[in-house]
Amino acid sequence: MMCAALYRQSTAHAPRHLRGNCLRADNWDNARRERCCPMSRVGVWIIGDQVCRQASSLAGVDRQTPIVFVESRDFCLRRPYHWQKLVLIFSAMRHHARELQNAGRPVHYFHGAADFASALRQFVAGTGIDTLRVMEPNDPGRLGPPGEMERLIGCRVEVTPNNQFLCDDPWFDQWAQRRSTLVMEHFYREMRRMLDVLLDRDGQPLGGQWNLDKLNRRSSIPADLPIPEPFAVAPDAITCQAIDDVHAWFGDRCFGATSPAQMRQLFTWPVTPADADAALDDFLQRRLANFGPYEDAMTGRSWSLWHSHLSVPMNCGLLHPRDIVERTLAYALPRVKRGSLPLNSVEGFIRQVIGWREYMRHVYRREAARNDAAPYAQRNALHADHPLPDFYWTGQTDMACVRDCLRPVIERGYCHHIPRLMVLANFALLHGISPQQVNEWFIYAYADGYEWITTPNVIGMGLYADGGIVATKPYAAGGAYINRMSDYCRTCRYRPDQATGPDACPFTRAYWPFVHRHQRMLATNPRTSLMVRSLSRLSASELTARQQQSRAWLQSIETYRPSG
Ligand SMILES: Cc1cc2nc3c(=O)[nH]c(=O)nc-3n(C[C@H](O)[C@H](O)[C@H](O)COP(=O)(O)OP(=O)(O)OC[C@H]3O[C@@H](n4cnc5c(N)ncnc54)[C@H](O)[C@@H]3O)c2cc1C
Ligand code: SF4
């Protein structure tokens, strides 16, 4: 059945994928131009995480239109961002600016400006524009309250629709309107239909099922299975200059701060669309096949495994999800048909890109727009208020899993999804760490971290602080899960099967106290009610011992440094 469906897909029924209802910059611009004052003098501002060459703000403007890029020191100093993220953004902006300049466009580039407003005021005064065009930022509220920016820079501001995503706001809102709860899996199926992705001629999923995740749960990676080296771009002169500037301007304030020589060795992210295309090719050819089966696996042998690492170029606009989907399908469909590539890997990857990523963006956009007393980012449904332990910053802890997951974060601003969810967020969930502090940490620490994508993942998926808007249950797990899905426990000084005593695994010890603390909420959820029923198997004295030891240990680790 699967082969027949694939055959039809690739021969009789040419895919319409990605035509859908997505907003295209050129469509918007044609409609808009008719309404714009023909005499207005327009300038375009490119924001650092919008270096996409197809930005709607650039569409249709004439070649003389001045374009401005601003590196704001004030913005970068407000938070201890990872140096990897700052180098990435500055280098990607500088490459984009140079490309535009080489094409004869008038570019005004403010290197290390004091702040956005003063640089933009200078741009407005120097060019004589009366309208500054900017694409709607990815982070909601980034331009401040209506009218504020106009007042600050002294000219009209025109916001063009954001076209960095596959699904536009009206389409998602219409889909959401018809539902009482917004379930990702339902949205994903609708996206498959809308984009005509991995469907047979009758509009049914290739392979007969929408979600093939049950084939994607391999935990142990065979010792003789070679793990591919991650794709790496050697820093060119522009990136090296960005490294020197970031080191000189922000130095030790940065997350993961280290010497410029070390930064040159560690910085390997794509900084141009050509680099990002090469990264995608590398993923398709060397890692997609094993992406599915080992998607949830973790190992101290490799930080990169078979993941794509494409969130970094995608989130700053170097790679459009449309291109990822089109090229993945072009590469994968003939191979799946021939039987040389597993469909579960392709479906699993496509689901992350057209499902989870788009869903998270829109759920957060809608939540952030609400005028609620408790804004989404401030929610704390489980009343967790313990401060974030020091080891999230230093990586120094005796917990082998946490240490191994933090190492690539500190060095590269990256670790893959399962360490984020089932180790770093899970630790915080079980131990009642403040969701707001955890969210801030994720935004600072990751090269792909921005408010719009980190917040729903941390507040919603990781810490269940939104009370179940994003996740259908809290992702809480003890040491047994981590032991099953990784090789970390083999080298750990703690034992995953011990819940009390000096060798007790902190995850295992904290698990039942967590269930006990939240039993009323967990009992009402069909996906977690069994957890609460199982709680009765634990004696009262055993529960008390775990609660007391867990609490005492947590109090001790704020200033704790491991012995070795
Ligand atoms: C606590 C927590 C914090 C996170 N913070 C971020 C963040 O700051 N920025 C970010 O881009 N992602 C974040 N994620 C989602 C996910 O972990 C990363 O997108 C993924 O690990 C990026 O690595 P990759 O490109 O190798 O992904 P792959 O495993 O190769 O997946 C392919 C793509 O799917 C998308 N994707 C997969 N899962 C998600 C998800 N849950 N939400 C949104 N997109 C998803 C990403 O764009 C990713 O590039 C977070 C997840 C958790 C649990
Ligand atoms: S024993 Fe516990 S703390 Fe140690 S690696 Fe395993 S899960 Fe992590």
Complex-level ipTM: 0.99
The atom number, within ligand 2, closest to the CA of 478 reads 7
Q: Answer for the pair 382, 515: CB distance below 8 angstroms, yes or no.
A: no
Same domain, 442 and 346: no
What CATH number does the domain containing 95 carry?
Answer: 3.40.50.620
Residue 357 in any domain: the answer is: no
The atom number, within ligand 1, closest to the CA of 361 reads 43
Same domain, 316 and 406: no
Q: What pLDDT is recorded for position 38?
A: 56
**Separation of alpha carbons 180 and 297, rounded Å:** 34
The atom number, within ligand 2, closest to the CA of 423 reads 8
Residue 387 in any domain: the answer is: yes
What CATH number does the domain containing 493 carry?
Answer: 1.10.579.10
The Å distance, Cα 482 to ligand 1 centre, comes to 19
Same domain, 209 and 134: no
Buried b (16+ CB within 10 A) or exposed e, 520-550: ebbbeeeebeebbeeeeebeeeebebbbebb
H or E element that contains 133: strand 131-135
pLDDT in tens, 153-167: 999 999 999 999 999
Residue of minimum CA distance from atom 3 in ligand 2: 399
Residue of minimum CA distance from atom 6 in ligand 2: 489
Ligand nearest the Cα of residue 423 is: 2
Residue of minimum CA distance from atom 24 in ligand 1: 309
Count Cβ atoms within 10 A of the Cβ of residue 339 and give its class: 0-12 exposed, 13-18 middle, 19 or more buried.
exposed
Closest to 29 (Cα-Cα) out of 109, 135, 146 = 135
Mind giving me the DSSP string for 482-520? Answer: HHHH-SGGGG-SSBTT--SSTTB-HHHHHHHHHHHHTHH
H or E element that contains 412: helix 400-412
Stretches in the chain below the pLDDT threshold 70: 1-38, 559-564
Q: What pLDDT is recorded for position 146?
A: 84
Residues 6 or more apart whose Cβ sits within 8 Å of residue 217: 296
Q: What pLDDT is recorded for position 220?
A: 82
Residue 476 in any domain: the answer is: yes
Same domain, 387 and 296: no
The atom number, within ligand 1, closest to the CA of 463 reads 1
Maximum CA pair distance of the chain?
79
Q: What pLDDT is recorded for position 21?
A: 35
- Domain extent, residue 423, equals 376-557
3-state secondary structure at position 298: coil
The Å distance, Cα 306 to ligand 2 centre, comes to 23
Same domain, 16 and 45: no
Ligand nearest the Cα of residue 499 is: 2
Residue of minimum CA distance from atom 45 in ligand 1: 357
Pocket test for ligand 2, best of 490, 498, 507 (most atoms within 8 A of CB): 507
Residue 246 in any domain: the answer is: no
Ligand 2 site, CB within 6 A: 399-401, 479, 482-483, 488-489, 492, 494-496, 505-507
Residue 10 in any domain: the answer is: yes
Same domain, 202 and 119: no
Same domain, 214 and 341: yes
Q: What pLDDT is recorded for position 391?
A: 96
The Å distance, Cα 510 to ligand 2 centre, comes to 12
The atom number, within ligand 2, closest to the CA of 494 reads 1
Same domain, 387 and 507: yes
**End-of-domain residue from the set 351, 367, 388:** 351
What CATH number does the domain containing 8 carry?
Answer: 1.25.40.80
Length of the chain: 564
Q: What pLDDT is recorded for position 37?
A: 54
Residues 6 or more apart whose Cβ sits within 8 Å of residue 69: 45, 46, 48, 93, 94, 96, 97, 107, 108, 109, 110
The Å distance, Cα 230 to ligand 2 centre, comes to 26
Pocket test for ligand 2, best of 405, 481, 492, 546 (most atoms within 8 A of CB): 492
Same domain, 134 and 221: no
- Tokens linked to 501: 């005593």
Count Cβ atoms within 10 A of the Cβ of residue 78 and give its class: 0-12 exposed, 13-18 middle, 19 or more buried.
exposed
**End-of-domain residue from the set 291, 316, 351:** 351
**End-of-domain residue from the set 351, 385, 412:** 351
Same domain, 491 and 509: yes
Q: What pLDDT is recorded for position 8?
A: 30
Q: How many domains does the chain have?
A: 3
Same domain, 390 and 485: yes
Residue 563 in any domain: the answer is: no
Residue of minimum CA distance from atom 46 in ligand 1: 311
Residue 435 in any domain: the answer is: yes
Pocket test for ligand 1, best of 296, 311, 322 (most atoms within 8 A of CB): 311
The Å distance, Cα 389 to ligand 1 centre, comes to 23
**What residues are paired with 109 via a beta bridge?**
69
Same domain, 425 and 498: yes
Residue of minimum CA distance from atom 7 in ligand 2: 479
Residue 36 in any domain: the answer is: yes
